[in-house]
Amino acid sequence: MKIKKIKGWLFSLFTFFLLVSVTTVFQQSATADGDYAGIDVCRACHQKNYDSYLKSTHAKAAIPGNPANKNSCESCHGPGLAHVQTGGAKGTGMIAFTKKDDPEMKQAICLSCHQDSTAVPFWNLSRHKVNGVSCSDCHSGHSGTKNNLKLAEPALCYTCHADIRAQANKQSHHPLKEGLMKCSDCHDQHGGSGPKMVKADTVNELCFKCHAEKRGPFMWEHPPVAENCLTCHVPHGSNHGKLLSSKPPLLCQSCHDATRHPGTIYTRFETFPGSATSNKNRMIARGCLNCHTNIHGSNAPSVRGQDFVR
């Protein structure tokens, strides 16, 4: 009953917003006014920043709407005349894009131009926005690096996501630390409707982009595989081979407890040096996967395929 009420409430709100959208009048973007000092004045004191600005795409006059076509430095940092007149004093309204500045204010400055970019139409859905991350935490308005990133991936992402760094350093991992993959190969840091900001509508769709051989569709399907790769795998790193969340046979036994071998307890006695005289091949090496390798699906005949052993 309670849940029903919440559902009703949520849908009422949702409908309200949709109705509002019908009556939308395209908003006019506000124009800023102020006293500008000009780029040459900025250069006089900030030569190093001026030089790095020239290396950036922001300095390209050929790009419509670029700072180079507006007020250069002051397009982003704000009108600087008062700053100049007070001899470079702080507290004159200049925006330095430091950690201390309000993230929303910093975002708003960038979006005043980049809202017409294809990169950030869904920034409002990004967890980064919700968590108070601003554009300038990752991008520099000055540098000449690709996408103006302050650091290369994954080091840039690890500055906040230290837990992911710890995962990615585990023995089983995607080749991130080897520099052959990037976080942004899978994630859209600017937001989207996929889970965990991945660049796909579902986890499986994302994984199949590189692992297309697992896409099937197979005659014999393994339902948890078809539903979500993350039932058995973790994406960022694992102590267990193949990025598995646990280790066979125990991983498989979490779901498959039946008469005969799926329910059998496999212990130290079933390892290579163990004294057991049977069942060893369900424990040694890759455990269940010694026989059931085609666990992602099979087209083999009869129970050979149904049991994923061919």
Partner 1 sequence: MKRQIFLPVLLFGLFSLSTAFAEEQQEQNKFSGEISAQGTLTHVNGNEAKFNEYGDVRNGLYGDVKIKYDDDKYYVDFYSRNMLYDTQSYDLEGGKWGAYKFNINYSEIPHNFTYDAQTFYSGAGTNNLTYPTHTPSTNTGTWNTFDYSTKRKDYSAGFKLDVLKPFFLDFSAAIDERKGIYPIGAAGTNPGGISLELPAPIDYKTNSINLLAGYVRNPLFISLGYFYSNFTDSDTSLNFRNPATNNTASVTDTYSLPPDNQFYKINLKGALKLPLNSKFNVDLATADAKSDAVLRNSYVDDIVGGLRNITLSTPFFNGEVITNNIATSVTSKPLSFLDAKLFLKYDDRENKSDVITITDATQTPATFTNTLFNYRRVKYGTELGFQLPANFYFLGAYNHSTISREREDIPDNRDDLFSAELRWKGFDFLTARVGYERLDRRADFQLTDPTDIETFIRRFDAAGKSRNTYKANLDFFPADNFSISLGYKHRDTNYPDTVLGLTGDRGDEFLIDVDYLINKRIRLFGSFDYEYVRQDQFQRQTTGTVDPSLPPVPAAFNWTAAQKDENYSYAAGAEIFIVPEKLTLLLQYSYLQADGSVDYTYLLGANPLPAGRTQDNIDLSNWDGYKLTCVLIKLSYNVTKSLSVAAGYVYEKYDYNDAQYDGYQYVPAVTGTNGAYLTGAYNNPSYESNVGFMTVTYRF
Q: Which of residues 11-70 bind partner 1 (CB under 8 A)?
A: 13-14, 17-18, 20-21, 23-27, 29, 57, 60-64, 66
Q: Which of residues 68-97 bind partner 1 (CB under 8 A)?
A: none
Q: Which of residues 158-197 bind partner 1 (CB under 8 A)?
A: 162-163, 165-166, 169-171, 175, 178, 180-181, 192-193
Q: Which of residues 124-153 bind partner 1 (CB under 8 A)?
A: 124-125, 130, 132, 146
Determine if 1 is a binding residue for partner 1 (CB under 8 A): no
Please, which residues have CB within 8 angstroms of residue 82's CB and are 6 or more apart in sequence? Answer: 35, 92, 93
Determine if 8 is a binding residue for partner 1 (CB under 8 A): no
Q: Are 49 and 142 in contact (CB under 8 A)?
A: yes
Please state whether the peptide bond connecting residue 154 to the residue before it is cis, i.e. omega within 30 degrees of 0.
yes
State the minimum distance, in angstroms, from the CB of residue 78 to partner 1.
19
What is the total count of residues that contact partner 1 (CB under 8 A)? 127
Task: Supply φ then ψ for residue 240, to 5 degrees.
Answer: -100, 145
The stretch near partner 1 (CB under 8 A) out of 31-39, 78-86, 134-142, 274-282 is: 274-282
> Given the complex with partner 1, which of 81 and 150 has the nearer CB atom?
150
The stretch near partner 1 (CB under 8 A) out of 33-41, 74-82, 135-143, 246-254 is: 246-254
Site mask, partner 1, residues 200-219, x = CB under 8 A? -xx--x--xxx-xxxxxxxx
Q: Which long-range contacts (CB under 8 A, 24 or more apart) does 288-293 make?
A: 288/248, 288/249, 288/252, 289/248, 292/252
Q: Give the C-alpha separation, 119 to 217, whole Å.
A: 33
> Given the complex with partner 1, which of 23 and 87 has the nearer CB atom?
23
Asked whether the CA dihedral 154, 155, 159, 163 is positive or negative, the reply is: positive
The total of other beta-carbon atoms located within 10 Å of residue 110's CB is 19
At position 237, the amino acid (one-letter code) is: G
